[in-house]
Amino acid sequence: MNRPELLSSYNYRSDGRRPTEMRSLSLLLSQHPQADGSATVTHGLTEVMVTVFGPRESKNKAGLAHDRAVLSVTLDVPVFSGVPGGRRGRSDKRNMEFTSNIKNTFEPVIQTHLHPRSQIDINIQILQADGSLLQAAVNATTLALIDAGVPMSDYVCATTCALHDSTPLLDLNSLEENDLPNLTVAVLPRSNKVTLVTLETQLAVERFEEMLKMAVEAGKLVHREMLRAVQNRSEKLMRAIESVGGGVGGRPDHRQGEERDVEMYAGNDL
């Protein structure tokens, strides 16, 4: 069988990147008109949209906690996204593992104690899949939570890293992800500590540290991009508020209020 070369003798990867080059990253905030916060994150051909609702009153009273907010994460993998294996139901084990990873990662980062007896819904929609799904989902969830104004102690920035012979590769596409030992790491950039690590298939112990360090460095890069995206979005909001004359805390009249709403959600021209 003719298999594509993952790393050519000239040190180029199958999609023309250098080993430590990441795919083009685009971070869009407030794409969804109804959600309290939303973000679409694209890493090359992988595209994930996350919407956040809440903190709000929970429909499921049994799952409530009296002293903190609880997270409810759902994942939708439509057939058109290109994830192999066809339609996945809600009780699919891979789906449940994925959502449990997201939930466990964000539960300690979100200041849940500020919203007792409430629920935060995180809906993850895979729009297009080309490897590193968990990475894209974590990054999109961070941005969507920030967009929703949910208090968090830090950003969570995820990256993936694989090892080809002895060369570490960053930000994997699906070809690389399927064939190489790979690592997904989520970094908290303020403390420089990792909060999520998953490693699959075999890797020599000595190599692990090198890969982890590289992934943490890449996480900082993603953090810088995220900061820029959030800053752009905030500036745009500020301009929108100022344009209706009220400034912060002012009360715009209704006609202008409608205009402001339109401006707030037209996130496409960022």
Partner 1 sequence: MPREIDPAISQRAFVLSALKDHRLRVDGRGMQEARTPELIFGDEMGWVECRFGKTRVIAQVSGTIVRPRADRPYEGLLNIHSEISPMASSVYDSGRPSEEEVVITRMLEKVLKKSDALDRESLCIVAGQQVWSIRLTLHFLSDEGNMLDCACLAGVAALKHFRRPEVEVIGEEVIIHDPSERAPMPLSMHHTPICVSLAFFEESAHPILDPTRLETQLASSILAISVTNTASPSPTLCVLQLAGGMPLSTEELTSCIGMAVARARVVGAFLERRLADDWSQRSVRVEVH
**Site residues for partner 1 per CB under 8 A:** 62, 91, 93-94, 96-97, 100-101, 103-108, 183, 188, 191-206, 208-209, 212-213, 216
Query: Cβ distance 159 to 217 under 8 Å?
Result: no
| Minimum CB distance to partner 1, residue 106 (Å) | 7
| Minimum CB distance to partner 1, residue 220 (Å) | 13
Show the CA angle centred on residue 143, arms to residues 142 and 148, nearest 5°: 100
CA distance 236 to 263: 9
- Judged by DSSP in three states, 205 sits in helix
Length of the chain: 270
The single residue listed with the structure tokens 């890449």 is 218
Choose between 12 and 208: whose C-beta lies nearer to partner 1: 208
CA distance 263 to 240: 7
Choose between 193 and 239: whose C-beta lies nearer to partner 1: 193
Residue closest to 229 by CA, chosen among 193, 267, 266: 267
Does residue 55 have a cis peptide bond before it, meaning omega lies within 30 degrees of 0?
A: yes
Choose between 19 and 181: whose C-beta lies nearer to partner 1: 181
Choose between 114 and 197: whose C-beta lies nearer to partner 1: 197
| Minimum CB distance to partner 1, residue 70 (Å) | 12
| Minimum CB distance to partner 1, residue 127 (Å) | 24
| Minimum CB distance to partner 1, residue 204 (Å) | 6
CA distance 7 to 10: 8
Choose between 122 and 212: whose C-beta lies nearer to partner 1: 212
